[in-house]
C-alpha cells in the first residue's frame, strides 16, 4: 500500500521540485498552511488576460504537499483561471474517489491518486490547490 502513496514520481517531485522560488513581479502571492502538521506553501502567480502565465512556490512540508505543489505549478501554467478552477475541482474529486484528471501536462497528477487511501494525508495533497483557489479568488476580488 505504501507504494501507492510514495510513487517514484512523487518522490521525484519532492526531491526536485519544479518552479521553486519567489516570483518577483507576481500578481498574487498567497500563503496556505496546515496548522496540524505544519505544511506550508506560498504560491506566486503571474496572470494576464485571465490566464496563468507563470507559477512558482516556496514553503516546506511533507513529500505529499510539496510534490503536489510542484506538480500543480507545472499543470496550471498556460491555463485560464476558469480552467484552473475546474482542475482544482477535478483534483478534489480524485481525492474523494473520482477519476484522475486528463489533459495536456496533467500526467504526473495521476500519481496523487494513491493518497486517497490515506485519509489523513488528503489535506496535504490538497493544500496547494486550496491556496490556488484562494489566489484566484483574491485576484478576482471576490
Partner 1 sequence: MLNEQQIRADFPILSRTVHGKPLVYLDSAATSQKPRQVIEAIVDYYRVHNANVHRGIHALGDEATELFEQARATVAKFINARDPREVVFVRNTTEAINLVARAYGGRVLGPGDEVWTSAVEHHSNLVPWQRIAAERGATTRYFPMDDEQSLPESALEMLTNRAKIVALVHVSNAFGTIHPVERAIAAAHAVGAVVLLDAAQSVPHMPVDVQALDCDFLAFSGHKMCGPMGIGVLWGRLELLEAMDPFLGGGSMIQEVFYDHATWAEPPHKFEAGTPNVADAVGLAAAVRYLESLGMANIRAHERDLVAYGLRALGELPGVRVYGPADPDRHGGVLSFTVEGIHPHDLGTILDQEGIAIRSGQHCCHPAMRALGISGTARASVYLYSLRQELDQLVAGIARAREVFDLA
Please give the grid coordinates belonging to residue 79.
Answer: 491555463
Using CA atoms of 86, 130, 141, 102 in order, give the dihedral in degrees to the nearest 10: -20
The least CB distance from residue 63 to partner 1, in Å, is: 5
Are 26 and 139 contacting, i.e. CB atoms less than 8 angstroms apart? no
Site for partner 1 in 4-63 (CB under 8 A): 5-6, 11, 33, 35-40, 60-63
Please give the grid coordinates belonging to residue 142.
Answer: 471576490
CA–CA dist 113, 102 (Å, integer): 13
CB nearer to partner 1: give 39 or 108: 39
CB nearer to partner 1: give 1 or 24: 1
CB nearer to partner 1: give 120 or 142: 120
Residues of the shown chain interacting with partner 1 in the complex, contacts defined by CB under 8 A: 1-2, 5-6, 11, 33, 35-40, 60-64, 118-121, 124
Amino acid at each position: 500500500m505504501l507504494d501507492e502513496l510514495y510513487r517514484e514520481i512523487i518522490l521525484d517531485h519532492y526531491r526536485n521540485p519544479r518552479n521553486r522560488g519567489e516570483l518577483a513581479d507576481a500578481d498574487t502571492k498567497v500563503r496556505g498552511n496546515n496548522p496540524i502538521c505544519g505544511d506550508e506553501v506560498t504560491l506566486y502567480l503571474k496572470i494576464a488576460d485571465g490566464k496563468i502565465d507563470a507559477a512558482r512556490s516556496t514553503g516546506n512540508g511533507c513529500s505529499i504537499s510539496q510534490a503536489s505543489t510542484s506538480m500543480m505549478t507545472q499543470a496550471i501554467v498556460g491555463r485560464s483561471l476558469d480552467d484552473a478552477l475546474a482542475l482544482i475541482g477535478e483534483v478534489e474529486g480524485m481525492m474523494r474517489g473520482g477519476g484522475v484528471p486528463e489533459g495536456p501536462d496533467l500526467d504526473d497528477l495521476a500519481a496523487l491518486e494513491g493518497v486517497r487511501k490515506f485519509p489523513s494525508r488528503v489535506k496535504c495533497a490538497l493544500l496547494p490547490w486550496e491556496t490556488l483557489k484562494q489566489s484566484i479568488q483574491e485576484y478576482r476580488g471576490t
